[in-house]
Structure 1
Amino acid sequence: MKMAQLSTTSEVPVATIKYYLREGLLPAGEKSGPNQSLYGPDHLRRLRVIRGLLEVGGLSVAAAREVIDAIDSDLGLAHTFEIAQRTVSPEIDPEALSAQVVAQVDEVLSGWHVSPENPGRLAAARVLQTFAELGQPDLSGWVPAYAAAALAVAEADLDEVDARDDRESKTEMVVIGTVLGDALFAGLRRAAQEHVSSQRYSGGAS
């Protein structure tokens, strides 16, 4: 299909498609003549991935390019997960974290295979430090419950990756699942909070 048809089918404006091509997010089409290229189902699929990363995942173009490069690479799944996690996570200076909150997180993660620079480990420590600064240091019941839920979610993530048949689909799920899974879990958490609060505080009323 020509770019105009690709635009119509994908509902992405031609100008935006050209922008994605210039930024290296979308691979070039097959040359069919001077200033003419043809695009196929893979381009349509990639456009959907790009829109998901940018519009739902909230990634910058540079971050989206990095995770798309990971999809197109021959890296192993573990390395791809590392890239996806690093790309969607804020950069945190370990030196800005107190040893006490880091120790608290490590106690909760005891028995897990987690590297010291894991962005989730550092983010969790920063959250605990913020709570302590707000005068709410005792999270002894809350944090382990969150860790247990996170472990269950991670198992679901990997089950979904393993359900894919080929490496490209698995890698795509690693990247998209990492980015959009955060948004999905946040949405379901909001819904669950309303449900549980209505059961506890409103006698089950809507």
Structure 2
Amino acid sequence: MRISELSRRSGIPTPTIKYYLREGLLPPGRATAATQAEYDEGHLRRLRLVRALIGVRGLSVSATRDVLGAVAARAGELHQVLGLVLGARPVGDEAAPEDPPEGEVEALIGELGWNVSEHAPARAVLGETLETLRSLGAELDHASLLGYAELAERTAVLDLDQLDPRADPLEQAERALLLTVLLEPALLALRRLAQENESARRNT
């Protein structure tokens, strides 16, 4: 397909596609003339993932380039690819953290028996949230989160069940990223609606 068709199918303006080509986010097409090239479905899949990494996850062009390079190096390893695009795996060589993991978050993960990366940003978010809650007088520990964690585990099953195992890994990575980032506001809204419904039920 010509670049105009690539633009139409991806929803990304032609100047932006040319910029991604210059920055190495998209491999060159097959040259058909001095100033023309043909692109294929692989370009379309990669372009959609680039759009998701930049527009949805909010990565810079440089960080996106690094993620794409790491994804290419782990092609065929879906678990690793998803970890890279979702930010749960570091780009480059995986080094051990400076300090050994500890505290309520590690106790929770250990009790659940979850296999998660020690680099996962969600660990720090969870730990900081617990500290904030305690500083405001809410005496919560990891045991208080077990019920929520079990619900999250069931949600994760629903998320991954929506990934077609026969699809191209780049398509799976893009869909996982969209499900993770774009669906979160809807999940929060459902929780609020459920709280209102439960409150009404208890007061009838």
Q: TM-score, normalised by structure 1?
A: 0.73
Q: Counterpart amino acid of 1:10?
A: S
Alignment of 1:1-206 (within 5 A): 1-73=1-73, 74=75, 76-86=77-87, 102-109=102-109, 110=111, 111-138=113-140, 142-161=144-163, 163-165=164-166, 169-170=168-169, 172-173=171-172, 175-201=173-199
Counterpart-to-counterpart distance in 2, 1:87 and 1:117: 6
Aligned residue for 1:180, secondary structure, equals helix
The percentage of counterpart residues that share the same residue type is 31
Relative to structure 1, is the Cα distance of residues 7 and 138 closer, same or farther in structure 2, using a 3 angstrom cutoff?
Answer: closer
Aligned positions, number: 193
Relative to structure 1, is the Cα distance of residues 183 and 118 closer, same or farther in structure 2, using a 3 angstrom cutoff?
Answer: closer
Counterpart-to-counterpart distance in 1, 2:116 and 2:9: 43
Alignment deviations for residues 16-46 of structure 1 (CA, whole Å, 9 cap, x no partner): 0111112222121101121221122332333
For structure 1, list consecutive stretches of 5 or more residues without a partner in the other structure: none
Relative to structure 1, is the Cα distance of residues 113 and 156 closer, same or farther in structure 2, using a 3 angstrom cutoff?
Answer: same
Q: Is the 8 A contact 1:25 1:65 kept in 2?
A: yes
Aligned residue for 1:32, secondary structure, equals strand
RMSD: 3.2
Counterpart-to-counterpart distance in 1, 2:7 and 2:82: 31
Aligned residue for 1:7, secondary structure, equals helix
Segment of structure 1 superposing worse, 71-80 or 103-112: 71-80
